[in-house]
Amino acid sequence: MLEKTATTLQQMFSLEGKRGILTGGSSGLGLATSQVLADAGAEVFVLSRSGEVKVEHDTQHSSIHHIKADVGDRESLRSIVDEIGGGGLDFLVNNAGITQKARSEDFAPADFSRIQQVNVEAVFNLCNLSYPYLKQAKGAGRIVSISSLAAHLGFAEVAPYCASKAAVTGLTRGLAVEWAHDNILVNTVAPGWFPSEINKQVVDAERQKKILARMPLSRYGEPNELAAMVLFLISPAASYITGQEFVVDGGALAFGF
């Protein structure tokens, strides 16, 4: 019985032989996710501004390759995607994102544009460039884009970020419908509050108190709790899921009063 169960789980969740791209994986949630995907058997090409791991960590995977890349530069992305895709491409995880904390009346137009470029335009560009390779993936190519609770809730002093993440959710639905018959499944994961670099930029003591009071589970999420959802959506177990957003937030979005 145990052997049969192990075989079933292997068939449902193994990423053996799969190759994919993940952006923004030099630290935090992206790094944790790349490690979980590699643990499941995938070869992961991590694109980041540094092209290397920026924090100390215990796990070293020979199947994780760090590549220096500017996700805002479409032409440089084209050459990287073509090189990786030439060996086969099974999944794309759009994780890179930026924000800036300021009241909207003080927000510079250039800063607004920069956030949209990284959080929205780069996501579309990578999906577009990866399309011909994902289309050929065995068992359906997968795109998982990281959105945010900010796609659903208003947060003060990060309105441009809220707009960008709502756009990611809309883009996911549009691509899922358009590419449904092109062998590509497209979904979004919306994290709540995790110990990420972006959250460190915008959370002070007063805001943290409000955050924890809103969450039914009353704690921040662990990186692997988000990575597990990404793994599920890339795995064979999620073969009938597309155009959906999965909120991983400790119950925050469900909370009323």
At how many degrees (to 10) do helices 109-116 and 159-178 cross?
A: 30
Tell me the pLDDT tens digit for each residue of 190-232.
999 887 666 666 667 777 777 778 789 988 899 999 999 999 9
Residue 220 is among the residues annotated as catalytic for this protein: no
Nearest Cα to Cα of residue 76 among 145, 135, 129: 129
Tell me the average pLDDT of the chain.
Answer: 92
pLDDT average, residue stretch 34-46: 97
111-163 pLDDT, tens per residue? Answer: 999 999 999 999 999 999 999 999 999 999 999 999 999 999 998 999 999 99
Question: Edge-to-edge strand order for the sheet containing 64-68?
Answer: 64-68, 43-48, 19-23, 91-94, 141-146, 184-191, 245-248
Is 253 a domain residue?
A: no
Instruction: Look at the chain and report how many structural domains it folds into.
Output: 1
Q: Tell me, what's the pLDDT at 198?
A: 62
Is 3 part of any domain?
no
Residue 5 has pLDDT above 90, yes or no: no
Cα dihedral: 230, 231, 232, 236 (round 10) = 130
Tally Cβ neighbours within 10 Å of residue 153: 13
**Domain holding 105: CATH number?**
3.40.50.720
Q: Which domain holds residue 209?
A: 16-248
Q: Please, are residues 254 and 216 in contact by the beta-carbon 8 Å criterion?
A: yes
pLDDT at 115: 97
Is 5 among the domain residues? no
Distance in angstroms (rounded) separating the CA atoms of residues 167 and 155? 16
Please give the helix or strand (H or E) that residue 91 lies within, else none. Answer: strand 91-94
Has residue 158 been placed in a domain?
yes
229 within some domain = yes
pLDDT of residue 8: 85
From first CA to last CA, the distance across the chain in angstroms is 46
pLDDT confidence of residue 108: 96
Residue 1 placed within a domain: no
**31 assigned to some structural domain:** yes
Asked whether the predicted pLDDT for residue 95 surpasses 80, the reply is yes
Q: Which of 131, 161, 220, 240 is catalytic?
A: 161
Q: Determine the longest span between alpha carbons in the chain, in angstroms.
A: 63
What is the rounded CA–CA span in Å between residue 14 and residue 188?
Answer: 20
